[in-house]
Amino acid sequence: MRGAFIVVEGLDRSGKTTQVANLQAKLESSGTPVKLFKFPDRTTAIGQMIDSYLRSQSELDDQAIHLLFSANRWELATSIESLLEQGTTVVCDRYAFSGVAFSAAKGLPLEWCRAPDSGLPAPDLTIFFDISPEAARARGGYGEERYEKEQLQRRVRELFDVLASEFDDERWVTVDAGRSKEEVAGEVWKYAAALVGKVSPQVDKLWVP
Ligand code: TMP
Protein backbone atom coordinates (compact mmCIF):
# COMPACT_ATOMS: atom_id res chain seq x y z
CA MET A 1 0.00 0.00 0.00
CA ARG A 2 1.44 3.37 -0.97
CA GLY A 3 1.76 6.24 1.48
CA ALA A 4 -0.78 9.07 1.71
CA PHE A 5 0.14 12.52 0.47
CA ILE A 6 -1.18 15.18 2.85
CA VAL A 7 -0.65 18.90 2.24
CA VAL A 8 -1.24 21.52 4.90
CA GLU A 9 -1.94 25.01 3.56
CA GLY A 10 -2.96 28.30 5.09
CA LEU A 11 -2.17 31.91 5.69
CA ASP A 12 0.97 33.05 7.46
CA ARG A 13 0.64 32.74 11.27
CA SER A 14 -2.13 30.14 11.03
CA GLY A 15 -0.18 27.62 13.14
CA LYS A 16 0.54 25.23 10.25
CA THR A 17 4.11 24.47 11.15
CA THR A 18 3.30 23.49 14.75
CA GLN A 19 0.42 21.30 13.61
CA VAL A 20 2.46 19.62 10.89
CA ALA A 21 5.11 18.63 13.47
CA ASN A 22 2.35 17.36 15.75
CA LEU A 23 0.80 15.33 12.93
CA GLN A 24 4.18 13.83 12.08
CA ALA A 25 4.68 12.74 15.70
CA LYS A 26 1.22 11.19 15.89
CA LEU A 27 1.63 9.30 12.61
CA GLU A 28 5.01 7.98 13.77
CA SER A 29 3.65 6.80 17.08
CA SER A 30 0.78 5.04 15.31
CA GLY A 31 3.37 3.08 13.29
CA THR A 32 2.96 4.95 9.98
CA PRO A 33 6.25 5.74 8.22
CA VAL A 34 6.20 9.46 7.52
CA LYS A 35 8.40 12.11 5.96
CA LEU A 36 7.91 15.84 6.30
CA PHE A 37 8.53 18.36 3.53
CA LYS A 38 8.27 22.12 3.78
CA PHE A 39 7.99 24.53 0.87
CA PRO A 40 9.83 26.66 0.22
CA ASP A 41 12.66 24.24 1.05
CA ARG A 42 15.28 26.89 1.82
CA THR A 43 18.17 24.39 1.96
CA THR A 44 18.63 23.85 -1.80
CA ALA A 45 20.41 26.29 -4.14
CA ILE A 46 17.03 27.46 -5.48
CA GLY A 47 15.68 27.61 -1.92
CA GLN A 48 18.50 29.92 -0.89
CA MET A 49 17.53 32.38 -3.65
CA ILE A 50 13.92 32.24 -2.42
CA ASP A 51 15.02 32.78 1.18
CA SER A 52 17.06 35.82 0.24
CA TYR A 53 14.07 37.27 -1.67
CA LEU A 54 11.64 36.62 1.19
CA ARG A 55 13.95 38.35 3.65
CA SER A 56 14.18 41.33 1.23
CA GLN A 57 17.90 40.79 0.73
CA SER A 58 17.42 40.51 -3.03
CA GLU A 59 14.91 41.73 -5.61
CA LEU A 60 13.35 39.59 -8.34
CA ASP A 61 10.51 40.14 -10.80
CA ASP A 62 7.22 38.58 -9.65
CA GLN A 63 7.40 36.11 -12.54
CA ALA A 64 10.96 35.05 -11.73
CA ILE A 65 10.29 34.36 -8.03
CA HIS A 66 7.10 32.51 -8.95
CA LEU A 67 9.05 30.16 -11.23
CA LEU A 68 11.72 29.63 -8.55
CA PHE A 69 9.04 28.57 -6.01
CA SER A 70 7.71 26.11 -8.59
CA ALA A 71 11.19 24.82 -9.48
CA ASN A 72 11.79 24.27 -5.76
CA ARG A 73 8.83 21.86 -5.75
CA TRP A 74 9.90 20.14 -8.96
CA GLU A 75 13.39 19.48 -7.60
CA LEU A 76 11.76 17.40 -4.84
CA ALA A 77 8.86 15.90 -6.82
CA THR A 78 10.67 12.65 -7.67
CA SER A 79 11.63 12.09 -4.01
CA ILE A 80 8.02 12.68 -2.93
CA GLU A 81 6.69 10.25 -5.51
CA SER A 82 9.23 7.53 -4.64
CA LEU A 83 8.51 7.84 -0.91
CA LEU A 84 4.77 7.51 -1.56
CA GLU A 85 5.33 4.45 -3.74
CA GLN A 86 7.53 2.87 -1.05
CA GLY A 87 4.69 3.23 1.46
CA THR A 88 5.86 6.35 3.30
CA THR A 89 3.21 8.95 4.08
CA VAL A 90 4.32 12.44 3.04
CA VAL A 91 3.17 15.51 4.94
CA CYS A 92 3.91 18.79 3.26
CA ASP A 93 3.86 22.22 4.89
CA ARG A 94 2.66 24.39 1.94
CA TYR A 95 2.64 23.32 -1.71
CA ALA A 96 1.52 24.57 -5.12
CA PHE A 97 -1.64 26.19 -3.70
CA SER A 98 0.51 28.70 -1.79
CA GLY A 99 2.48 29.14 -4.99
CA VAL A 100 -0.60 30.19 -6.96
CA ALA A 101 -2.40 32.10 -4.18
CA PHE A 102 0.55 34.31 -3.19
CA SER A 103 1.69 35.15 -6.74
CA ALA A 104 -1.87 35.76 -7.99
CA ALA A 105 -2.45 38.00 -4.94
CA LYS A 106 0.39 40.17 -6.22
CA GLY A 107 -1.48 40.53 -9.53
CA LEU A 108 -0.17 37.77 -11.81
CA PRO A 109 -2.91 35.96 -13.78
CA LEU A 110 -4.14 32.86 -11.95
CA GLU A 111 -3.84 30.54 -14.94
CA TRP A 112 -0.32 31.74 -15.66
CA CYS A 113 0.56 31.00 -12.02
CA ARG A 114 -0.89 27.51 -12.14
CA ALA A 115 0.87 26.34 -15.32
CA PRO A 116 4.39 25.61 -13.98
CA ASP A 117 3.02 23.39 -11.18
CA SER A 118 0.78 21.38 -13.48
CA GLY A 119 1.83 17.71 -13.36
CA LEU A 120 3.33 17.68 -9.84
CA PRO A 121 2.25 14.77 -7.60
CA ALA A 122 -1.29 15.64 -6.46
CA PRO A 123 -2.07 15.51 -2.73
CA ASP A 124 -4.65 12.96 -1.60
CA LEU A 125 -5.82 15.54 0.90
CA THR A 126 -5.22 19.25 1.45
CA ILE A 127 -5.99 20.56 4.92
CA PHE A 128 -6.50 24.32 4.76
CA PHE A 129 -5.89 26.26 7.97
CA ASP A 130 -8.32 29.13 7.92
CA ILE A 131 -7.70 32.14 10.13
CA SER A 132 -8.86 35.72 9.70
CA PRO A 133 -6.01 38.13 8.90
CA GLU A 134 -6.91 40.04 12.12
CA ALA A 135 -6.56 36.91 14.28
CA ALA A 136 -3.29 36.02 12.54
CA ARG A 137 -1.93 39.50 13.24
CA ALA A 138 -2.97 39.24 16.89
CA ARG A 139 -0.77 36.12 17.20
CA GLY A 140 2.24 38.31 16.50
CA GLY A 141 4.94 37.97 13.92
CA TYR A 142 3.44 39.72 10.90
CA GLY A 143 5.85 42.04 9.20
CA GLU A 144 9.04 40.04 9.44
CA GLU A 145 8.94 38.74 5.88
CA ARG A 146 7.92 40.19 2.56
CA TYR A 147 4.35 38.79 2.32
CA GLU A 148 3.33 39.30 5.95
CA LYS A 149 1.02 42.23 5.30
CA GLU A 150 -2.65 42.19 6.17
CA GLN A 151 -4.03 43.38 2.83
CA LEU A 152 -2.02 40.84 0.85
CA GLN A 153 -3.03 38.05 3.24
CA ARG A 154 -6.69 39.00 2.71
CA ARG A 155 -6.32 38.61 -1.05
CA VAL A 156 -4.40 35.34 -0.58
CA ARG A 157 -7.29 34.01 1.51
CA GLU A 158 -9.76 34.82 -1.30
CA LEU A 159 -7.55 33.07 -3.83
CA PHE A 160 -7.25 29.96 -1.65
CA ASP A 161 -11.08 29.89 -1.72
CA VAL A 162 -11.03 29.92 -5.51
CA LEU A 163 -8.55 27.01 -5.59
CA ALA A 164 -10.48 25.07 -2.93
CA SER A 165 -13.72 25.32 -4.92
CA GLU A 166 -12.21 23.07 -7.60
CA PHE A 167 -11.84 20.12 -5.20
CA ASP A 168 -14.47 17.94 -3.56
CA ASP A 169 -14.78 17.45 0.23
CA GLU A 170 -12.67 14.30 0.08
CA ARG A 171 -9.65 16.16 -1.30
CA TRP A 172 -9.82 19.55 0.44
CA VAL A 173 -10.96 20.27 3.98
CA THR A 174 -10.93 23.57 5.85
CA VAL A 175 -10.03 23.68 9.52
CA ASP A 176 -10.81 26.68 11.73
CA ALA A 177 -7.28 27.49 12.90
CA GLY A 178 -8.45 30.25 15.24
CA ARG A 179 -9.21 27.66 17.96
CA SER A 180 -6.89 26.13 20.57
CA LYS A 181 -3.91 24.04 19.45
CA GLU A 182 -5.52 20.92 20.95
CA GLU A 183 -8.81 21.38 19.11
CA VAL A 184 -7.06 21.98 15.80
CA ALA A 185 -4.75 18.98 16.36
CA GLY A 186 -7.76 16.76 17.10
CA GLU A 187 -9.47 17.71 13.86
CA VAL A 188 -6.30 17.33 11.77
CA TRP A 189 -5.76 13.89 13.24
CA LYS A 190 -9.34 12.88 12.48
CA TYR A 191 -8.81 13.68 8.78
CA ALA A 192 -5.34 12.11 8.58
CA ALA A 193 -6.32 8.90 10.36
CA ALA A 194 -9.29 8.47 8.01
CA LEU A 195 -7.03 8.71 4.98
CA VAL A 196 -3.89 6.72 5.81
CA GLY A 197 -4.10 3.19 4.41
CA LYS A 198 -7.07 4.05 2.21
CA VAL A 199 -5.52 5.87 -0.74
CA SER A 200 -5.84 4.65 -4.32
CA PRO A 201 -2.70 2.88 -5.67
CA GLN A 202 -1.94 5.58 -8.25
CA VAL A 203 -0.52 9.00 -7.31
CA ASP A 204 -2.52 11.52 -9.37
CA LYS A 205 -1.03 14.50 -11.14
CA LEU A 206 -1.98 17.99 -10.03
CA TRP A 207 -3.93 20.25 -12.40
CA VAL A 208 -3.71 17.87 -15.35
CA PRO A 209 -7.06 17.54 -17.15
P1 TMP B 1 6.90 29.98 5.05
O2 TMP B 1 6.71 31.13 6.00
O3 TMP B 1 5.91 28.90 5.20
O4 TMP B 1 8.33 29.51 5.00
O5 TMP B 1 6.59 30.56 3.59
C6 TMP B 1 7.29 31.67 3.12
C7 TMP B 1 6.43 32.59 2.31
O8 TMP B 1 6.45 32.22 0.94
C9 TMP B 1 4.97 32.66 2.72
O10 TMP B 1 4.60 34.04 2.83
C11 TMP B 1 4.23 32.03 1.57
C12 TMP B 1 5.14 32.27 0.39
N13 TMP B 1 5.08 31.26 -0.67
C14 TMP B 1 4.91 31.70 -2.00
O15 TMP B 1 4.74 32.89 -2.26
N16 TMP B 1 4.93 30.77 -2.99
C17 TMP B 1 5.11 29.44 -2.75
O18 TMP B 1 5.13 28.63 -3.70
C19 TMP B 1 5.29 29.01 -1.38
C20 TMP B 1 5.52 27.56 -1.09
C21 TMP B 1 5.27 29.95 -0.39
Query: Which of 102, 112, 118 is the best mutation target for the ligand 1 pocket, counting ligand atoms within 8 Å of the beta carbon and taking the most?
Result: 102
ipTM: 0.99
What's the 40 CA to ligand 1 centre distance in angstroms? 6
What's the 1 CA to ligand 1 centre distance in angstroms? 31
Query: Which of 38, 43, 95, 98 is the best mutation target for the ligand 1 pocket, counting ligand atoms within 8 Å of the beta carbon and taking the most?
Result: 98
**What pLDDT, on a 0 to 100 scale, did the predictor assign at position 207?**
98
As a whole number of angstroms, the distance between CA 15 and CA 195 comes to 22
Query: Could you identify the atom of ligand 1 that is nearest to the CA of residue 16?
Result: 3
**What pLDDT, on a 0 to 100 scale, did the predictor assign at position 164?**
98
Give, using CA atoms, the residue closest to atom 18 of ligand 1: 99
Query: Which of 54, 100, 112, 139 is the best mutation target for the ligand 1 pocket, counting ligand atoms within 8 Å of the beta carbon and taking the most?
Result: 54
User: Which domains does the chain carry?
Assistant: 5-195 (3.40.50.300)
The DSSP line for 60-123 is --HHHHHHHHHHHHHHHHHHHHHHHHTT-EEEEES-HHHHHHHHHHTT--HHHHHGGGTTSBPP
User: pTM (2 decimals)?
Assistant: 0.97
* Among 1, 6, 56, 12, CA closest to 190: 6
Query: Could you identify the atom of ligand 1 that is nearest to the CA of residue 42?
Result: 4
What's the 147 CA to ligand 1 centre distance in angstroms? 8
Contact 3, 86 (CB under 8 A): yes
pLDDT digits (tens, 9 = 90+) for 22-41: 999 999 999 999 999 999 99
Bridge-partner residues for 9, per DSSP? 128
**What pLDDT, on a 0 to 100 scale, did the predictor assign at position 32?**
97
Which stretches in the chain have pLDDT values below 50? none
Decide: 72 in ligand 1 pocket, CB within 6 A: no
As a whole number of angstroms, the distance between CA 104 and CA 75 comes to 22
